[in-house]
Structure 1
Amino acid sequence: EIRADGPFGDFHLTALPCERPLLLSAGSGITPMWAMLRDELARRPEADIRFIHSARSPEDVIFAGELAALAEAHPGVRHALVLEQAPAAHPWVGRLSPDMLKELAPDLLSRHVYLCGPAPYMTAVCTMLTALGLPAGQLHQESFGLPEAPPVATDSNHFWLTLKKSGKKVKILPGQTLLAALEGAGETMMAACRAGVCGACRCSTTGIIERQSVMTLSAQDLENGVALACSCTAKGDVSLDY
């Protein structure tokens, strides 16, 4: 028997809105960009949005027809396809480059950039954006998978995370999230966005903690020690219930 939850959480453009976004994607990374674009236009039909998508060939462009139709219906949307293999008349051939970025988004430094795609693409684009002078706070990107495991705790550099129901004690390092400590000890906890947005890893705590996100928590939750395990670290020994 398998229980499946429905979609929940927010995309970056919803949680971190801006007036003039630049959407950069490659391959299947277009999927969240397409969703954010439609949602933004539903709320702001005249929004000034730049959308640059990279793909191998015209046949590999997901949502190609829908994107063209949406851009035609909204004058504020300007989109470009950067193709490695393209017809002779296509203006953007090869891989996304700094010169292409400057031409397609000359006001780049005044925009917030939302980035998603294969890891090599994201690494290359992040390097380009940094070289072009985009402030780090204006870049928002999606990553796949879990972060690297933290160093193994020793007797002198950890706190104790106690599970109230079982009494089991788990070592947790300074700066390590409650969720990471639990999963590192083989415990299972519901978690989805892992960014402090969806609220799936909501838990009750006793002890000194530091919350990096309180997005789905009320003032009463905060008073009662409720936290989001994926975005909460321990400042001392902590008891936890979930």
Structure 2
Amino acid sequence: MMFQWQGTQPVTLRCIDKYRETDDSVSIKLAALDDTQRFDFKPGQFINLGVTIADKREFRAYSISSLPQTNYLQLTVKRVNQGRVSNFIVDKLAIGDEVQALPPTGNFNCIDHPPLPRSSGTKVLLISAGCGITPVFAMAQHWLTQQPEVDIAFVHIARSPLATIYYDQLHTLAAAYQQFQLHLLLKHRGNSNCHQGRLDAAWLQQLVPDLKQRTVYLCGPHQFMQDVQRYLTALAFDMNHFYHESFTPSASTTAEVTPQNAPAAKVSLNVPAFGRQLDVTAGQLLADVLEQAQLPLVIACRSGICGSCKCKVNQGTVHSSSQGPLTPAEIEQGYVLACSSTIETDLDINIG
């Protein structure tokens, strides 16, 4: 039986397994309370996971690394410096604990953006660093089990073998599938048979000489992704065959940026559904204001990616740096992403 999500409302899942991947990361498996139910999603997508810390529910976005049609969702979580949720999951979440989750979502997946066949066949290049390996690992497993004709080159960047998430699983896949070519580029190779160095255009060309014949899927830290896009451009790669994802916020989506035409003055924020009227300062991030007021808005990725913090502006204006998950119809109706919108004038909004 397929698991039924409750619209946009969080559902309860239970942690049924937890194990360490590296010194600073763990994988967890989450199942429905009726653990016979199976989950459907598109490989590469993520869920917004909610945990309760000090009597406050916190949501963050984590990619799914397991395959669809199984009775659990696997997430891999890496410790982040001062990361409130990631550190709680790594250190304190236990088997049997219950968490909250929103439905799988995300445009970065291999179903909505499948690799296109070329004259040399259907080929992909997966590039990742750190915990960015999770969505592309799910894609690789999908192609190996469902579309074995897809030729996969997998380039992953890490510090060392011990710091490489899924190190053993990757080598197992490379040994088992001829169409899976693994290239680990490590800062400290140790005694492994991996490559050592820092990724650049020359390394990409050396590791994957036919990269121009492939569809590229990229995930990792923000600066890493910017660097890889620059390398691909330098190599004259056709960016129409390029897809990427990142949960690392850029400065433009996390800083409080006051548009030049916004007065540095007090304005009002009205949330009529909750009977709240707040005095705020123009230029503040809408998500921060709503969170500080303890209004029930899910703020997960904080990067303008997941869409969980969608609000409707009935009156007033905001300056938005990201509209990625919103449809043209939603934008026309006045929806914005609170995590990517700074307040310009008096506002009247709906949340939820």
- TM-score, with normalisation over the residues of structure 2? 0.51
Alpha-carbon spacing, 1:169–1:48, altered in 2? closer, same or farther (3 Å): farther
For 2:101, what is the secondary structure of its paired residue?
coil
Mapped partners of 2:344, 2:289: distance in 1: 18
> Which residue of 1 is the match for residue 278 of structure 2?
168
Query: Is 1:106 aligned to 2:106, yes or no?
Result: no
Alpha-carbon spacing, 1:150–1:172, altered in 2? closer, same or farther (3 Å): same
Pairwise CA distance, 1:64? 1.8
Query: Is 1:147 aligned to 2:259, yes or no?
Result: no
Question: Relative to total residues, which structure has the larger strand share, 1 or 2?
Answer: 2
Alpha-carbon spacing, 1:225–1:5, altered in 2? closer, same or farther (3 Å): farther
Quick one: which amino acid aligns to residue 239 of structure 1? D
Q: Give the root-mean-square deviation of aligned CA atoms.
A: 4.3
* CA contact 1:206–1:239 (8 Å) conserved in 2: yes
Query: Is 1:213 aligned to 2:320, yes or no?
Result: no
> Which residue of 1 is the match for residue 300 of structure 2?
192
Q: Deviations over 1:166-192 (max 9, x none)?
A: 23365667xx9xxx4342574453122
Mapped partners of 2:304, 2:188: distance in 1: 40
Question: Within 5 A, what are the aligned runs for 1:1-242?
Answer: 1-3=55-57, 4-6=99-101, 8-10=104-106, 12-14=108-110, 17-19=113-115, 20-86=123-189, 90=193, 92-118=195-221, 121-134=224-237, 138-145=242-249, 146-151=253-258, 154-155=262-263, 162-164=270-272, 165-168=275-278, 180-183=285-288, 186-188=292-294, 189-194=297-302, 198-207=306-315, 212-214=324-326, 222=330, 225=333, 227=335, 229-230=337-338, 239-242=348-351
> Which residue of 1 is the match for residue 35 of structure 2?
none
Q: How many residues align?
A: 233
Mapped partners of 1:128, 1:140: distance in 2: 14
> Which residue of 1 is the match for residue 23 of structure 2?
none
57-66 or 38-47: bigger deviation: 38-47
Mapped partners of 1:149, 1:15: distance in 2: 36
Q: Deviations over 1:19-66 (max 9, x none)?
A: 143221233332333233234445434323221012333333221221
Alpha-carbon spacing, 1:99–1:172, altered in 2? closer, same or farther (3 Å): same
Mapped partners of 1:207, 1:214: distance in 2: 19
Higher relative CO (Cα under 8 Å, sequence separation at least 6) belongs to: 1
Quick one: which amino acid aligns to residue 10 of structure 1? G
Alpha-carbon spacing, 1:120–1:99, altered in 2? closer, same or farther (3 Å): same
Pairwise CA distance, 1:194? 4.6
Pairwise CA distance, 1:76? 2.9
For 2:262, what is the secondary structure of its paired residue?
coil
Quick one: which amino acid aligns to residue 142 of structure 1? S
31-40 or 231-240: bigger deviation: 231-240
- TM-score, with normalisation over the residues of structure 1? 0.68
For 1:114, what is the secondary structure of its paired residue?
strand
Q: Deviations over 1:51-93 (max 9, x none)?
A: 1012333333221221122234443322211233336884633
Mapped partners of 2:141, 2:306: distance in 1: 20
**Structure 1 residue ranges without an equivalent (≥5):** none
Quick one: which amino acid aligns to residue 106 of structure 2? D
Pairwise CA distance, 1:14? 4.4
Percentage of matched positions with identical amino acids: 28
Pairwise CA distance, 1:6? 2.2
